[in-house]
Amino acid sequence: MASRVRITVYYTPECPREPVIEEIRKAAGEVGLEDYELEEVLLANDDEAAQHRVLGVPTVRINGVDVDPSFKDRGVYKSTCSRIYKWKGGYHDYPPKEMIADALRRMGIAGESG
């Protein structure tokens, strides 16, 4: 792999990052990704959300790309805990490990066992 993978989590105190980070760890393990940088970005307000182009929290990006395959930037940026992820017929408050693992595979980022 040419460069280290960066996984970024955007969050607020009202929308904690811990469950998301656990899903990222599980997904990375599932695809055999051992070496990656985990960046945690605390958003204080909607202005900061706009600077990072975050539609709601939590948001997870891999090398700058949103993990949600149906993501569309609608130009309305919020720091509120309002992001809902639809995956395999269910709704989630944060991206499930399967969505994150799928994103890693779609981007061609997987370890030897992935």
Torsion of CA 74, 81, 84, 19, to 10 degrees: 130
In a domain, 112, yes or no: no
Q: How many domains does the chain have?
A: 1
In a domain, 71, yes or no: yes
In a domain, 85, yes or no: yes
In a domain, 111, yes or no: no
- The range of the structural domain enclosing residue 33 comes to 5-106
CB neighbour burial string for 67-98, b if at least 16 within 10 angstroms, e if fewer: bbeeeeeeeebbbebebebebeeeebebbbbe
Which residues on adjacent β-strands are paired with residue 37? 6
pLDDT digits (tens, 9 = 90+) for 35-86: 999 999 999 999 999 999 999 999 999 999 999 999 999 899 999 998 999 9
In a domain, 113, yes or no: no
pLDDT digits (tens, 9 = 90+) for 105-114: 999 987 644 4
The pTM of the full predicted model, rounded to 2 decimals, is: 0.91
CATH number at residue 48: 3.40.30
